[in-house]
Amino acid sequence: PPPRRRRIMSGTLLESARSTMEELEALELLAVESLAKKPSGSKAAMERDAVVANVVDGMAGRATTLTTLYADADGSYRSEVQSMRGPGVFTTFYGALKETREYYARHGATAAKGAAQATAQAAVERARRVETVFSGEEMWGKYLDLGALHREFCNLPSAPGGADLEYVAYLRMLGAKPFAQILPEKLSGAYARHAAAVDA
């Protein structure tokens, strides 16, 4: 059988892969649950969309983790799988069974199950956490408030319209062409920061 230390370390990798798959499944169920509900207003729709976006990000991160585990750069994952085959399979199995029994005797019968559920539950809670930065005028994403950007633009040196540029005129100017084309010669300093904020 493979060395004891390698088997334990690889077993941790297999457990990590299993836990990651449970997180993926929990996130998938959350996505289905979220998309099955019809939102009752713009705030609920925004929150649902944010949760789904968090789910997608979380699933992408967990999939990357699984891909790294399966790539098995150091061969430890393959070593664990190989230890479950061949002539030493029973020795390996009973050694792992003994370690598992000792672990449960020390930590209680629900320790491993509780840890796995806690990991998946934590992934779901992270996905459900929605932080909004909307102003009151935006009504939870229903409208777009560019008031702060308008004031900033009016205070830029040599801005078209200057400090007297009205909000509606500013919106028309932004809608007509990209900001980089409005002031192509000024794309540095304050202008560049404003252009980046408008693009964001």
**Structure confidence by residue, pLDDT tens digits, 154-191:** 777 767 777 788 888 878 877 776 665 666 555 557 76
Q: Which residue has the tokens 């939102």?
A: 39
pLDDT at residue 48 tops 60: yes
> What is the pTM (predicted TM-score) of this model?
0.57
- With a cut of 70, say whether residue 19 has pLDDT above it: yes
- Count Cβ atoms within 10 A of the Cβ of residue 72 and give its class: 0-12 exposed, 13-18 middle, 19 or more buried: middle
Distance CA 38, CA 6 (A): 50
Please state, in angstroms and rounded to a whole number, the distance separating the CA atoms of residues 84 and 194: 60
Residue 39 DSSP symbol: P
The overall average pLDDT reported for the chain is 76
**Dihedral of the CA atoms 168, 172, 175, 179 (nearest 10)?**
-90
- Does 74 score more than 70 pLDDT? yes
Task: Quote the percentage of the chain above a pLDDT of 70.
Answer: 71
The residue type found at 163 is A
The reported pLDDT for the residue numbered 2 is 41
The pLDDT value recorded for residue 66 is 92
Contacts by 68-73, CB closer than 8 A, 24 or more apart: 69/13, 69/16, 69/17, 69/20, 70/17
pLDDT computed for residue 59 by the predictor: 94
Q: How far is CA 128 from CA 50, 110, 113, 115, 117, in A?
A: 8, 26, 22, 20, 16
